Amino acid sequence: MRFLSKAVAITCKDVLSEVRARETIPSVLIFAVLVIVIFNFAFGAGPEQMKLVVPGILWTTFVFAGMLSLNRTFIQEKEQGCLEALMICPVKRQDIYIGKTLANFIFLTVIEAISLPIFVILFNLPIIVLPKLIVITILATIGFISVGTLFAALSVNTKAREMVLPILFLPVVVPVILSAVEASALALTGESWSSMASWLQIIAAFDVIFMVVSYLIFEYVIEE
């Protein structure tokens, strides 16, 4: 359990600095709402056509917001020289990965927890679908942050910084986006849990596999 306490300490540091500075979550939230509004204009069709594009809009919003937030948490570390300090600390590189992943998970979940109700209101979705959407969102978020934390740590150490993350992140999370969109579409048409099961299984498999793989190779992206 000792290694987890070190990771949690890193998470607490991130959460505390976010609570005090309020740099990431408010701006990403505003961005998410803007994306929803702009998509509404882009597909400004009748309510029937809107039903078809709603899952796509939801997940494009979450993916974009996720990338913004992932980039932010590592750029801050780099600018303040905190990443170097973390590496001098007597903690394993894997602990840093777990700590940062947990922090990213908390940030992204907060952002999604606030933007999901806004989404439900703006698109007049039935409230009954919320439990299903929440399960899909949590599963997909774990997938995003597992590989996203790895790639964010990688891209912050490159010359192009925030440009590199989308190029690496988007193709790799294609299975998660695809499955989340399909599962959400099923949820919105009132299908049962069992009809979404195979999609949720793919996301869960992605989550487990990339948690392990990222945990194992994280140390190679932040070494000096």
Partner 1 sequence: MKTSHIVKLSLLALSAVLIIFAHYLVFLYVPTEAVMGIVQRIFYIMVPVGWLAMLSTFVLFIASIYYLKTRKGSWDAVAYSAVEIGLVFTTLTLLTGILWAKPAWGVWWTWEPRLTATLVLWLILLACLMVRTTATDPSRGSAFAAVVGIVAFVDVPIIGMSTTLWRGIHPGGIILDGGLAPPMLLTLLVSLAAFTALYALILIIRIAVKNDQMTIDKLKTLRG
Question: In the complex, which residues of this chain contact partner 1 (CB under 8 A)?
Answer: 147, 150, 154, 157-160, 163-164, 167-168, 170-172, 174-175, 178-179, 182, 198-199, 202, 205-206, 209-210, 213, 217, 220-221, 223
In the complex with partner 1, the residue whose CB is nearer, 123 or 210, is 210
Contact 63, 173 (CB under 8 A): yes
Q: Shortest distance, CB of residue 121 to partner 1, whole angstroms?
A: 30
In the complex with partner 1, the residue whose CB is nearer, 59 or 199, is 199
In the complex with partner 1, the residue whose CB is nearer, 27 or 158, is 158
d(CA 111, CA 26): 8
| Residue 10 exposure: Cα atoms within 13 Å on the Cβ side | 28
Q: Shortest distance, CB of residue 93 to partner 1, whole angstroms?
A: 13
| Termini Cα distance of the chain | 28
What is the four-CA torsion angle of 173, 175, 180, 185, rounded to 10 degrees? 140
Q: What is the per-residue DSSP string for 71-111?
A: HHHHHHHHHTTHHHHHHHSSS-HHHHHHHHHHHHHHHHHHH
Q: Shortest distance, CB of residue 146 to partner 1, whole angstroms?
A: 11
In the complex with partner 1, the residue whose CB is nearer, 51 or 161, is 161
Q: Shortest distance, CB of residue 16 to partner 1, whole angstroms?
A: 30
